[in-house]
Structure 1
Amino acid sequence: MTTSTPDDAPAPDAHAPFAQAKYQIRFDWGIAGAERVLPGVHAVVVVDALSFTTSVVVAAEHGIAVAPWPAGEEARAGAAAFAAAHGGIVAVSRRAGPSTTGHVHPTLSPESWAGVEASTVVVPSPNGGAIAHALGDRDVVVVAASMRNRSAVADRLVALQAERGERLVIAIVAAGEREHAAGHGAGADAGGAAVRFAVEDLIVAGAVVDALVARGIDHTSPEAAVACAAFEGLSRATGHLISASGSGVELRGIGFAGDARLAAERDVTEVVPVLRDGVFVVG
């Protein structure tokens, strides 16, 4: 696999201790984690349960393609230009309130996608959106996963392996939550933001690993195996865990408890959003 890196950056080392290079299924956190495990990978599964990848999946269920984009003022102009070039719109903040034009405003909330009229929506997100956007120019298949489509994602990856006729190496990247902190301390991601553990992403990442193992792709790294064991051991409580997680409580506090409910629904759709030319489409 060929990956692009800045001119002054060292090439990723497949033999580094945290690359998980000997394993077919790898697991790490954030953009920095994706970089660690990318060497030799053929497919990347991005997980941001609350709420980017759940929103991508729900949007796909409504026939809407999503372009992942980083969040922030600096990225806003690029998002608007990309939307204009693709005849789409840019998602607004969850807190934007009802539209004054009568049109439905899509947001990061999975509940916001019913009734959206646009065929393509650029969705800025500091977590899953930023990761997927960063992977857009890599020579890998990028898939958006949630609890809603975790078995369909596994089926798609098994089919990709069959098409290749040889082993498909898979990296599952959990977004976590980026918390802006001073400096670049331990756990810092791109831009100096610390990546906070997110229980909902661990559970969904483990659910994807579990589905792959059930289909015979079971050469997992220790990191992926632990995520899978977390899901297996807590499988009957995933709805509660997602809604009671820090992110779930935070969303409930601002009036979006339904996001956690949609994020916890398991295997309710066959759609598999795949990143093509910077846009997640069903394929």
Structure 2
Amino acid sequence: MNTFFDQSPYEIKLEWGIRGAREAAKREEILIIVDVLSFSSTVIAALENEAVIYPFPPPINEKAKKYADQLGAELVVGRAEAIETGKHSLSPNSFTADDCGKSYVLCSLNGAACVEVAKKVPALLLGSLRNAQAVAEAALEMKKKIGKPITIIACGERWEKASADENELRPAIEDYLGAGAIISSLNGSLSPEVFVCKQAYQGSKHELSNLIRKCGSGRELAERGFAKDVDFCLQLNSSTIVPALSGNKFISFEPSNSLTLF
């Protein structure tokens, strides 16, 4: 078996996008999926308000609507549609205390797509800047219990109108820096890929907010009227909520419930 690209024999690894998530899932590793703007951050916001989130692969279509109907849940819509209808969207600020106990189906091109291909791993967590330290601590606890490496998946974005012979993945610095923030609270042997990511974060953290606001993804959201979403997602270590996939929904990780994830 070729082990060059699976970053063996390191305990902490880093991969990009859907393919990276799929490869880590084949190895049955502990996954932390990082989609800062904003799948990971939005699920954290929903769980902070005690909502129930069911991830579903993109696109938002009739199949997704049927799934939501089966669950008695609301299908989360695109930001533009949410403005017109008042429904929830990938905007983390669309979730409030009024959502306590309510169920939602959440699609996204990157975060939810990565969850879909990796949902059978021993443990799958969502990480962001908001919960970087908390998700690292949860992953280390799981690693101690089941003895598996930890792989951080920086989701990235997708190029629009990619040709058939092109890779759709567009690396995104917000996810790379979010991964670096998480890595900074992990211990264990680091692959070279992880080491460089950690150094990128540590060398940039004094300019973190400015960099992400001015990067492609941050500017796109701001120009569409969602600058407050970017501000929300930039709140480093402001949350102790760690979304953990349990069956077909995310629950808030607690040491007492960790055995239900394996």
Count of residues in correspondence between the two structures: 251
| Per-residue deviation, residues 92-134 of structure 1 (Å, max 9, x unmatched) | 110114466xxx5210111111255362211111111111122
1:260-279 equivalences under 5 Å are 260-279=230-249
Any conservation in 1 of the 2:183–2:198 contact (CA below 8 Å)? yes
1:1-283 equivalences under 5 Å are 13=1, 15-72=2-59, 76-98=61-83, 104-117=86-99, 119-136=102-119, 138-164=120-146, 167-179=147-159, 180-185=161-166, 188=167, 194-212=168-186, 217-283=187-253
2-side partners of 1:228 and 1:83: how far apart?
A: 38
Which stretch of the first structure deviates more once superposed, 272-281 or 35-44? 35-44
2-side partners of 1:90 and 1:116: how far apart?
A: 16
Any conservation in 2 of the 1:178–1:195 contact (CA below 8 Å)? yes
* Residue identity opposite 2:163 in structure 1: A
Q: CA deviation at 1:41?
A: 4.0
Any conservation in 2 of the 1:18–1:36 contact (CA below 8 Å)? no
Q: CA deviation at 1:139?
A: 3.1
Q: CA deviation at 1:242?
A: 1.4
1-side partners of 2:192 and 2:98: how far apart?
A: 41
Matched residue SS, 1:147: coil
2-side partners of 1:184 and 1:170: how far apart?
A: 31
2-side partners of 1:175 and 1:184: how far apart?
A: 21
* Residue identity opposite 1:171 in structure 2: T
2-side partners of 1:139 and 1:247: how far apart?
A: 29
TM-score by length of 2: 0.89
Question: Relative to total residues, which structure has the larger helix share, 1 or 2?
Answer: 2
Partner of 1:10: none
* Residue identity opposite 2:184 in structure 1: D
Q: CA deviation at 1:88?
A: 1.0
Which stretch of the first structure deviates more once superposed, 87-96 or 36-45? 36-45
Q: Which consecutive residues of structure 1, in runs of 5 or more, have no partner in the other structure?
A: 1-12, 189-193
Any conservation in 1 of the 2:21–2:117 contact (CA below 8 Å)? no
1-side partners of 2:236 and 2:64: how far apart?
A: 31
2-side partners of 1:35 and 1:160: how far apart?
A: 20
Relative to structure 1, is the Cα distance of residues 133 and 40 closer, same or farther in structure 2, using a 3 angstrom cutoff?
Answer: closer
